[in-house]
Amino acid sequence: MSELKIIPLGVGDTFSEHNTTASILIELDGFRLGVDCPDSYRRVLTQASKPQNLALDINTIDHMLITHVHGDHMNGLEGFAFWKYFVEKKKTHLYTSPEARADIWDRRLSAPMDRLFDGREFKQMRFEDYFDYRALSWTEPVALGPLRVRTYRTIHHVPTTALLIEWTTGRKTRKLGYSADTAFDPKLIDFFADADLIIHETNYGPAHTPYESLSSLPADVRARMRLIHYPDTLDLSAPSIVPLRTGEIVSVP
Ligand SMILES: [Zn+2]
């Protein structure tokens, strides 16, 4: 019986004093998918390993999905891909929207990554030298290992993909919704209508979802929802939606 596990690597926002920025690790049948990539990824894995004694290792994570190009969601991709290239001698399997893929190389990573010195000479490097890229489609499901991923374009400053991830366990189809960054969007809640678990962001400002918008959703939706990307100031004493905690193991049987 396949049981999907989610390990939050970071649950905070970019300004947090206490939490790593929002990112999760998804595991099913030995397939591991990172969703968003905070900086110093190996340290992040070590810290997230502590609560459950997990020993998470970057060498066991080859697949990385980036929801959008804001730094708190992809600042670690340079170091992650350099680790794969220099240490493991392999490419990073990268999944993101075509819009984000163009920006990731042309406006984010080409500056630090497109030239390497091998001790004698400089070599010109291309996106393809580091990444094995597969586009996330806005219209069609995409198979990533045992997972099928549908996307939804959220309301955010830059092109951002919310995810509806499906997998089969026994004869049943299970679904995980992941909001990524978004303003409150009832259509996105509808997109997650039959999800077994919904991981939803909350934060301040017009491009994020106020906690009050989520806490006023119907009880059956809130019962299936967990929070991520929350500010340090979120009152965790009696939340009507349970926040994710770094390093816990969330199972979707
Ligand atoms: Zn963002």
- Which amino acid, one-letter code, is at 39? D
- Of 61-75, 162-176, 231-245, which gets the smallest average pLDDT? 231-245
Q: Comparing C-alpha atoms, which of 228, 108, 245, 243 is closest to residue 180?
A: 228
Are 5 and 11 in contact by the 8 Å Cβ rule? The answer is: no
Taking the centre of ligand 1 as the mean of its atom positions, its distance from the CA of residue 230, in whole angstroms, is 12
> Is the confidence at residue 237, as pLDDT, over 90?
no
* Nearest CA among 238, 193, 243, 223 for reference residue 16: 243
CA 174 to centroid of ligand 1, rounded, Å = 27
- Ligand 1 mean position, distance from CA 13 (Å): 9
Q: Are 173 and 179 in contact (CB under 8 A)?
A: no
Q: How far away, in angstroms, is 118 Cα from ligand 1 center?
A: 36
Question: Confidence band (pLDDT; 50, 70, 90) for 242?
Answer: very high
Q: How far is the CA of 197 from the centre of ligand 1 (A)?
A: 21
- 3-state SS class at 230: strand
- Better pLDDT: 43 or 253: 43
Tell me: pLDDT of 1 over 70. no
Beta-carbon contacts of 119 under 8 Å, excluding residues fewer than 6 positions away, are none
Taking the centre of ligand 1 as the mean of its atom positions, its distance from the CA of residue 29, in whole angstroms, is 30
Considering the chain, what is the average pLDDT of its residues? Answer: 96
- For ligand 1, the distance from its centroid to the CA atom of residue 216, given in whole angstroms, is 23
